[in-house]
Amino acid sequence: MIEFAIFFFFAAIAVIFALVVILHRNPVVGALSLVASFFALAVMYVLLDAPFLAALQVIVYAGAIMVLFLFVIMLLNLQHGSEPATRPVQQFLGYAGSAFFGLALVYYLVKYTVLQLPPGPFLSDARAIGVTLFEAYIFPFEMVSILLLAAIVGALLLSGRGARPEVAR
């Protein structure tokens, strides 16, 4: 089955590149790996009958947010600065705790989710999404637009000249 092959291939890509993000020391490599991981997730969205959101995923995450990340990493010239090592205890606790958490999550998912998919295709084209968005969710939609405006103003204020400390002359 070609669908399963695609699923496993891109699932492997998503997981491997996500691991690169947390294990590689160079943040530029990390950001690019995260883009690859997000792209693989977009493929998952296509497999889940949501091509519209897959396209949005690539446009918003890969096309805008991660470019912003790369931009900031390059501007701050972070790739040369060596990251101080985390304390071994802290590191061990982090790995062990998250591994335990993940294993528990996967265990319960395997054990308790027996879901039978309903028959028929899942219609989620742009029209259906638009109708739902502008009828049932019109108020949250407007709130999100205000939130985005606030974010723009906040980002400008934080990174603008006014926020810089006065350099001692």
Partner 1 sequence: MIPTSWFLILSAILFTIGVCGFLTRKNGITMFMCVELMVNAVNLTFLAYARQFHQLHGLIFVFFVMAIAAAEAAVGLAIFISLFHHRETIDVDEANLMRW
Partner 2 sequence: MTFDRVDVVLEIVKIAVVVGLLLNVVPIMVWVERRGSALIQDRLGPNRVGPFGLIQSMADALKFILKEDVIPLQAHKWLYTLAPMFGLIPALTTIAVVPWGRPFFIPTEIVYGPRVSGVCLIGAAVLAILAIALGGATAKYHRKPNYSKLNFTIGVIVAVSLFLGALALIGVMLGIKTAGAVHLPGGGRLFEPIIADLNVGILLIFALASLGVYGIVTAGWSSANKFSLFGGIRASAQMISYELSLALAAVSALMVAGSLRLTDIVGRQTGYFVLFDTVKIPAWNCFSPAMWLSMIVFIVSAFAETNRLPFDFAEAEAELVAGYHTEYSSMKFAMFFMSEYIAMTTMSALVVTLFFGGWDVPWYNEPPTVTGFLLSAISFLAKVGFLLFVFVWVRWTIPRLKYDILMKIGWKVFLPLAVANIVLVAWFIAMRWI
* 76 lies in the binding site for partner 1 (CB under 8 A): yes
* 29 lies in the binding site for partner 1 (CB under 8 A): no
Q: Which of 95, 115, 99 is nearest to 107 (CA)?
A: 99
Both tokens assigned to 47: 């497999």
| CA neighbours closer than 13 Å in the CB half-sphere of residue 149 | 6
- Angstrom distance (rounded) from CA 42 to CA 60: 11
Binding part of the chain for partner 2, among 6-14, 49-57, 131-139, 144-152 by CB under 8 A, reads: 49-57
| Near partner 2 in 95-154, by CB under 8 A | 125-126
- Angstrom distance (rounded) from CA 77 to CA 71: 10
| Near partner 1 in 33-52, by CB under 8 A | 34, 37-38, 41, 44-45, 47-50, 52
* 11 lies in the binding site for partner 1 (CB under 8 A): yes
* 43 lies in the binding site for partner 2 (CB under 8 A): no
Nearest residue (CB) to partner 2, 71 versus 100: 71
- Angstrom distance (rounded) from CA 38 to CA 44: 10
> How many residues of this chain interact with partner 2, rule: CB under 8 A?
24
* 138 lies in the binding site for partner 1 (CB under 8 A): no
Q: Which of 37, 31, 39, 33 is nearest to 56 (CA)?
A: 39
* 101 lies in the binding site for partner 1 (CB under 8 A): yes
Q: Provide the total of helices (H) and of strands (E) in the chain, helices listed first.
A: 7, 0
Q: What is the DSSP letter of 60?
A: I
Q: Which residues bind partner 2 (CB under 8 A)?
A: 26, 28-29, 32, 35, 39, 42, 51-52, 54-56, 58-59, 62-64, 67, 70-71, 74-75, 125-126
